[in-house]
Structure 1
Amino acid sequence: MPSPLPHLGIIGGSGMLGAAMLRAVLAQGGWQVTISNRSGVAPDWADGVRVTQSNAELVAASDLVLLCLPPAVFADMSLDLSGKLVISVMAGVDLAALQAQTGAARVVRAMSSPAAGQGLAYSPWVASAAVDALDRQYVTRLFEACGATDEIAEEPLLDHFTAMTGPVPGFVAYFAEAMINHATAQGIPAEVADKAIRQLFLASGQMLAEGPTAAEHVQGMVDYAGTTAAGLDAMRASPLADLISAGLTAAADKARSL
């Protein structure tokens, strides 16, 4: 990785996602960071971070500008980011719109999540034609601070990642809620059910993070032919997979409409 890293400016660095990504880069180290917000006050945990109320001042100080804003707020902003490397984590704002509104040629559109603050986000990204190899190293370094990352080739795929990996814990929490409700309906005390299912999802996430794929885990349980296999066979025979797909499609359609 080239050194030193570019000066990073985060517009929206005190919002939920911006603050999470700020935590991630500070934990990684090596970055000089300026954030802009309305108060002009940095979070009390953000040692060494410069803060300003002026986006123009932030832009002047920065080589890489990270846009962590609601799309509606960005639509009303006037930013001259020509000559800067620009990364956007705003849902629904495509590369062409980013280039047109900011004047930047080197633009990256990405999707991340507040799990970045714990280094647990998945952040796929797509780059404009002007983004070079050195830029890609900086983008990768930034998103590796947040968790796992990949460059993808097709921009429309980001809408699906917005649906699948952006809402943390979102859909996974809904499945957990359904399991907790089932447990309490069987007479298990609510606090015990909640604790048990939280621990189940914690362990499952850690086991899925490495080793066999999700499909291999499922097939392994089916092959074992125990109690879990009976449940999985019933779920596979149901329309559950199609209903999950329908929910994710609805979320992706919403992302495209923003």
Structure 2
Amino acid sequence: MGPTGNAIGIIGGSGMLGSAITSALLGSEAFAQSRFWISNRSGNAPAVEQSSIVHVTKDNQALVDACDVIILCVPPARFPDIDICASNKLIISVMAGVTIDELKSKTAAVRVVRAMSSPAASLFLAYAPWTASAEITPDDRDIVPKIFGACGITDEVFDEQQLDHFTAMTGPVPGFVAYFAKCMVDHATSQGIAADVADRAIRQLFLAGGTMLAADRGSPADHVRQMIDYAGTTAAGLTAMERSTLSKTISDGLLAAADKARTI
């Protein structure tokens, strides 16, 4: 059955990530004919789910029975509490650290996809890598990129262990980017620039930088080299950063986050 005819259920669909994915799917033409179910602990529908095509329940099994595709969006700590039998269903998990084998064992499903996403899905800006069990069907392989494509950009990867590194890089909030921005704001204020001006300037800098980087075919390394070759003020700063331990510090932070993803 194609995506326009599927019933899609989102367990944990009222949380930050679940709501973002729900919003993206509701706004996508690819799923204009789909029916949606959402389960949460209250059974009540927040604003984004208040739609005539969305059924809200607190009964996870009722959602599973009614839907063809089930997206698991609960926090990983709540995964042991999910008690569902989803044999013959497509399970898509965006829970960090929960393996395909664990998903199969807990849900009785064999057609399983493990993925990452982020609340940026509500802005259609999420990046979602995904990997699948050997049992998924051609129809499954068609609908998964449509779901995550409605949320932003997606890629299939073929090594499940890489998902832990993507968890570190594309987690639920732009923590590492925000930290770099914080450091720049702190530097600006230490130089006497008003805090509100520094905040506004750095926000705009990251918006412009991210937008330009996304639109340009050049790699991040290409951009760095172009700036260094220009030999201006940015080159002086980048050269100092390249000579420092900044690259290793960033790598250490990402490795620590990936290690946490494996044991979460």
Task: Quickly name the TM-score band, shorter chain normalised.
Answer: over 0.9
Query: Aligned-residue CA RMSD in angstroms?
Result: 1.2
Alignment correspondent of 1:124: 129
In 1, are the aligned partners of 2:10 and 2:70 still within 8 Å (CA)? yes
Between the aligned partners of 1:165 and 1:244, the Cα distance in structure 2 is 14
1:43 to 30, 43, 46: 46
Residues 245/24 of structure 1: CA separation in 2 closer, same or farther (3 Å cut): same
In 2, are the aligned partners of 1:5 and 1:138 still within 8 Å (CA)? no
1:192 to 180, 192, 197: 197
- Aligned residues between the structures: 258
1:215 to 206, 216, 221: 221
In 1, are the aligned partners of 2:117 and 2:172 still within 8 Å (CA)? no
Q: Which runs of 5+ in 1 are unaligned?
A: none
Per-residue deviation, 1:167: 4.0
2:115 to 110, 117, 120: 110
Q: Deviations over 1:124-159 (max 9, x none)?
A: 000000012210111100000110000000000000
In 2, are the aligned partners of 1:71 and 1:90 still within 8 Å (CA)? yes
TM-score by length of 1: 0.97
Per-residue deviation, 1:41: 1.6
Q: In the alignment, is residue 255 of structure 1 matched against residue 258 of structure 2? A: no
Q: Which runs of 5+ in 2 are unaligned?
A: none
TM-score by length of 2: 0.95
Between the aligned partners of 2:253 and 2:168, the Cα distance in structure 1 is 9
Per-residue deviation, 1:3: 5.3
Identity of paired residues, percent? 59
The residue matched to 2:186 in structure 1 has which SS? helix
In 1, are the aligned partners of 2:131 and 2:160 still within 8 Å (CA)? yes
The residue matched to 1:45 in structure 2 has which SS? helix
In 1, are the aligned partners of 2:17 and 2:172 still within 8 Å (CA)? no
